[in-house]
Amino acid sequence: MSAAPRRAQRPRDPQARRDALAAAVIDSIAEVGLGRTTHRSVANRAALPLGATTYYFPTLDDLIEAGLRQALDDLDRELGQWKERLCAAAGAADLAGELALLAAQHAADPRRVRVEYELYAAAMRDPRLRPLARRRLDGVRELLEPRLGGSIAEAVAALLDGVVLRAATTGEPVDQAALAAAVRRVATE
């Protein structure tokens, strides 16, 4: 009796598996929220065995943190693009208009915004997540500080956060003209 042919196993790449799991966490958070993200749902999304989630990330908190870190890396790349665009903006009017455009573009990606605000909400309850949330919040302020100074940069960053949150919550697009006018008012106070 001949043995059944063995199924070829795909090579195991630990980093690729970690990355796939982190990406699956982001997808899960964007779709069902942080509170309903589980090892099982992440494993299913990543098309990996359930045991892979606990092998690479022993606790659900570890798994979620890995996904949020990856999401923040993506947001950091976005901030790098913002920096390039804002450096090209010559005056305060250009800066306000560019910020309004960038905020509108960011708000137009509901998946990304949901993950970002899920992180903020979770950080209110879980102090371990606060450094991750601060990384994003401080990133926008730090981007604006050289042009606006500390307190004005903080106020404009808070304004942008509020406008993006409102757009994400209502499903309405950012009113770029109104946002640019508000940024100009705050920046010249």
How wide is the angle at C-alpha 51 spanned by C-alphas 48 and 53, nearest 5°?
70
pLDDT at 1 over 90: no
Is residue 173 a contact partner of residue 143, using CB atoms and an 8 Å limit? no
What is the rounded average pLDDT of the residues 148-166?
95
For the stretch 65-84, pLDDT in tens is: 999 999 999 999 999 999 88
Q: Exposed, middle or buried, 32 (CB in 10 Å: 0-12/13-18/19+)?
A: middle
Distance from the Cα of residue 78 to its chain's centroid: 9
Whole-number Cα distances in Å, 142 to 23, 89, 145: 27, 17, 5
Label residue 9 by pLDDT band (50, 70, 90): very low
Task: Tell me the whole-structure pTM to 2 decimals.
Answer: 0.83
Provide the mean pLDDT of the chain: 90
For the stretch 105-122, pLDDT in tens is: 999 999 999 999 999 999
pLDDT at 7 over 50: no
For the stretch 45-67, pLDDT in tens is: 999 999 999 999 999 999 999 99
Cβ contacts of 177 within 8 Å, gap of 6 or more: 100
| Cα torsion 115, 120, 123, 129: sign | positive
Both tokens assigned to 102: 């960038």
What CA–CA distance (Å, rounded) separates 12 from 124? 37
What CA–CA distance (Å, rounded) separates 188 from 165? 24
For the stretch 77-106, pLDDT in tens is: 999 999 888 888 766 668 999 999 999 999
pLDDT of 78 reads: 92
Domains and CATH numbers, the chain: 14-188 (1.10.357.10)
Name the least confident of 10-19, 93-102, 176-185: 10-19
Label residue 189 by pLDDT band (50, 70, 90): confident
